[in-house]
Amino acid sequence: MLTFMGALKVGDHAPQFRLPGMRMVNGRFEHAEYSLDARRDGPVVLAFYPLDQSKVCTEQMCSYQDDFAGFEDLGAEVWGISLQGVESHEEFALKNGLTFPLLADHRDGVGKAYGVALGSILRRSVFIIDTDNVVRWKHVAMLGFTYRRAAEIKEQILRLFPAPSGHAFAFAPPSF
């Protein structure tokens, strides 16, 4: 199920989706369907990227992996989304030790719904979505080679959700 809309703004409801994906756990692949409604409590960071195995995408996803525990400590999940299929994601995750979910938007047009599709590729973009499925922060790169560092994204999570309590947050109302 997709809800199509134009360019998303902070404060908009995030388009719903169901995407196939995988996550590497202890060297094995776990396949699942991912949707915003089915995730656990806490913010989710949607990291759209153009291409598995490309130099900049590898740097970006590896930087998020290096700080993955830091995201988990904040109660946040990171989901990488690109147009490649799950098999490509498996190879990418195995080669680079990526353990957060990688989702395959190869048919469903989620990038289009989020306003980040540019022809047959996705613009490098990051969205922080709260538990009410509201876009709380976003960055859509103008050029394909720039990406938001994990430290900046974690800083935004702390700014947006200032009261961590264990693995849950006391969510502040959206600031529009």
* Catalytic residue (one of 8, 24, 45, 57): 57
Task: Give pairs for 163-170: CB < 8 Å, separation 24+.
Answer: 164/74, 164/75, 166/75, 167/42, 167/72, 167/75, 168/41, 168/42, 168/75, 169/42, 169/43, 169/74, 169/75
Say whether 57 is catalytic: yes
How many Å apart are CA 63 and CA 126, to the nearest integer?
Answer: 14
DSSP 134: B
CB 110 within 8 A of CB 78: no
3-state helix, strand, coil in the chain (%, to 5): 25, 30, 45
In the chain, what's the furthest Cα-to-Cα distance? 42
Active-site residues: which are they? 57
